[in-house]
A and B are shown apart, each in its own frame.
Chain A
Amino acid sequence: MPAATQETVETTIVDAIAKLGPEPEDVTRDATFESLDIDSLDLVEVAQIVEEEFGVVLKGEDMEKLKTVGDAIDLVVARAS
């Protein structure tokens, strides 16, 4: 299991989101999930990938607070440390 650094987490999450529909270049730290048309069902899939990759478990209440891609990256890095 790789270390959950800003760089590794960002790569994993951006890749995961880009596979869900948005154009890869639109998936930036500041992009909101709303603008990317990423909904709660999509975020469960992202959470499954994060758990598999870094062993960090994200629950429904964690996800509800996330507004941007950066929020998700920061939460995973914080939880992992």
Chain B
Amino acid sequence: MTRRVVITGVGAITPLGTGADTLHERWKAGECGIESGVGACSEFEPADVLTKKELRRTDRFAQLAIAACEEALATAGWKSGSDDGELPIDPERIGCVIGTGIGGISTIETQHDVLNESGPGRVSPLGIPLMMGNAGAANLALRHGFKGPAFSTVSACAAGADAIGTALRLIRAGDADAVVSGGAEAGITPLAYACFGAMGALSESGISRPFDARRDGFVMGEGAGVLVLEAAEIAEARGATVLAELLGYGASADAYHLTAPEPGGGGAARAIKRALEDAGVSPSDLHYVNAHGTSTPLNDRSETDALKAALGEDVAKSLPVSSTKSAIGHLLGAAGAVEAVATVLALRERVAPPTLGYEVPDEGLDLDYVPDGPRPLTGANGRAIALSNSFGFGGHNAVLCIAA
């Protein structure tokens, strides 16, 4: 029998502020965290959470992961600090999987400046542990004493969802009883920004309006989302409050183009179908889709096509489909994790938050993108079920199926 996996804790640091509830409430109310064309976590104060030593030993992306993890552990009723009591589960049975798109890129940029200006003898001995893409998982394991499998997923903008899906697999396989998983990104740096700009991916208008005919690229954001996943029987035994159940995960590769999604969304559709099969859920059982919805011309079209192909045209058109990126921009490797957190809270409240800024329909993009404010989820008598889509440069597709 397949082990059931539940979500007992959520945490998020996003351009809408600190906290998962802040993200949910502000997005639902139609507030947008994007300012001057970027989604920065301007309210985030790393020193509020990290010690002086940790501050020096972490890149911003790992600092965001640490802060989101504090909230997730607090929600789950786990300890809130490294010296703050025992973990409720054998530490050797707790894993940690934290995805990222590019890791500590601000450290790479600063240390490269030091190298050029002062020579190799002056670069920081902390350069590597700050920039390494696995620093999120490493720092959480170190801070909290998680001694099970710990590593990172790197699949561009699908990394956060792949981390959560991998966590599901680790628990099902019996490699861990609980996994702290999610994604973190802090890529609003001169080099990363210039490179995304050079490839024509960024919005020139600085507006994130997924699925709208006027969409012209994504708006870069930063942040982190962390979820506590536990085997259902372990959570039950310790009397934990269950927020949601992670029913399934599906992943695929387009194998089509380095950055462009497969026209028609074939690869994404296979990941959606696989997630539904894994969850044991039919398309008609769904109540909501948290879209990848990047606001790029290509993604929003191929994602629409993928949903129709995977769910059937009638079901796809009947579902509310909204994009968190309309409120916070694109958090790259953190996006899938933050959006999974947003999906959990949307399901729990039985509400689909809106796709902000959507006004002008585009030909062929004819799903219900929830344009006019939050919408109650209907038909969810027992539990409400949603998909959360994440697709990344490289042709990576990762889809989570969540119920609450």
Residues of chain A touching chain B, judged by Cβ–Cβ distance below 8 Å, are 20-21, 37, 41, 44-45, 48, 51-52
Contact = CB atoms under 8 A, between A and B. Distances in A.
A21 B56 contact: yes
Nearest to A18: B52
Interface in B110-144: 121-122, 124-126, 129
20 contacts: A20-B52, A20-B53, A20-B56, A21-B51, A21-B52, A21-B53, A21-B56, A37-B53, A41-B57, A41-B125, A41-B126, A41-B129, A44-B125, A45-B124, A45-B126, A48-B121, A48-B122, A48-B125, A51-B121, A52-B122
Contacts of A41: 57, 125-126, 129
A77 to B, nearest CB: 22
Given A20-B56, A48-B125, 17 more contacts: A20-B52, A20-B53, A21-B51, A21-B52, A21-B56, A37-B53, A41-B57, A41-B125, A41-B126, A41-B129, A44-B125, A45-B124, A45-B126, A48-B121, A48-B122, A51-B121, A52-B122
Nearest to A21: B53
Give the secondary structure class of A's interface.
helix
B114 to A, nearest CB: 10
A25 to B, nearest CB: 14
Contacts of A20: 52-53, 56
Contacts of A37: 53
Nearest to B123: A48
B89 to A, nearest CB: 27
Contacts, number: 21
Contacts of B122: 48, 52
Interface of B: 51-53, 56-57, 121-122, 124-126, 129
Nearest to A51: B121
A1 to B, nearest CB: 16
Nearest to B52: A21
A20 B53 CA distance: 6
A45 B122 CA distance: 9
Nearest to B55: A21
Contacts of B57: 41
Nearest to A37: B53
Most-contacted residue by chain A among B53, B57, B121 (CB, 10 A): B53
Contacts of A45: 124-126
Contacts of B124: 45
A44 B52 CA distance: 18
Contacts of A52: 122
Contacts of B125: 41, 44-45, 48
Contacts of B56: 20-21
A37 B51 CA distance: 12
A48 B111 CA distance: 14
B54 to A, nearest CB: 9
B80 to A, nearest CB: 21
Contacts of B129: 41
A48 B120 CA distance: 11
A76 B169 CA distance: 54
A52 B126 CA distance: 18
- 5 closest A-B pairs by beta carbon, nearest first, are A21-B53, A44-B125, A21-B52, A41-B125, A41-B126
A44 B129 CA distance: 14
A45 B111 CA distance: 14
A54 B183 CA distance: 44
Contacts of A48: 121-122, 125
Nearest to B53: A21
Nearest to A44: B125
